[in-house]
Structure 1
Amino acid sequence: ALERDAVFVDTRERDEFEEARLPGAVRFDWREVVDDDTRRLKPEGELEDLLAEHGITPDREIVLYCNTARRISHTYVVLKALGYENVAFYEGSLTEWLANDGAVDSGPVSDASTDE
């Protein structure tokens, strides 16, 4: 599954992401799409720029995961509302991956894979 040209998007907390993540995954905090003042979604252009900073673009296959597939729903709805067509869930998420002895990356990341 990881051989395909998809971006695997981890929607978990930073400490969870740094502890273990799918190889090559990027972290995207689902709360980043909400304007802190208005409590509404940020403007469409701002959202698209924010997603692109994480390598999440409409031309790529996007596979969302977390630990148990609960936190990915919000990001899924936002991506679909923005017109991203190729968005999928990894329903088993990291829990299944680890149960099947899947390889993981770990450690701090200092690029767009995390929220600063």
Structure 2
Amino acid sequence: MIIGTTIFRMGGEPAYSPEFPRGGPAALFSIEVLAVSDSPTLVATIQTKNHEDGTWTDLAAFSGMSTVGLYTKDATGLKQLVRLKYTFTTTDAADAVRFFVPEPSWRPLE
């Protein structure tokens, strides 16, 4: 079994996860970077919107991910729908990252 998703920088356009319904107004998001090519830097941005909204809003961003490891980001103020946007801050079209995104740890606001 192959676990994870691999994305390449290629032309530099963002890649997006499928949208999913929120499980609470706040959550801890995790991304486990499994492998990296040469020296890419991947940024994941948590985006959110309500069904009636026309555009997505950037809510929080992970720090640049350039090495294998576990990265986490806490986010509050989630609307009805959530997705992740992936962008590279590097310029090599061959830059690639393999990663796994588990389900967020949803929680109510305190």
TM-score interval (norm. to shorter): under 0.3
Q: Which has the higher contact order (CA 8 A, sep 6+)?
A: 2
More strand, by proportion = 2
TM-score, structure 2 as length reference: 0.26
| TM-score computed with the length of structure 1 as normaliser | 0.25
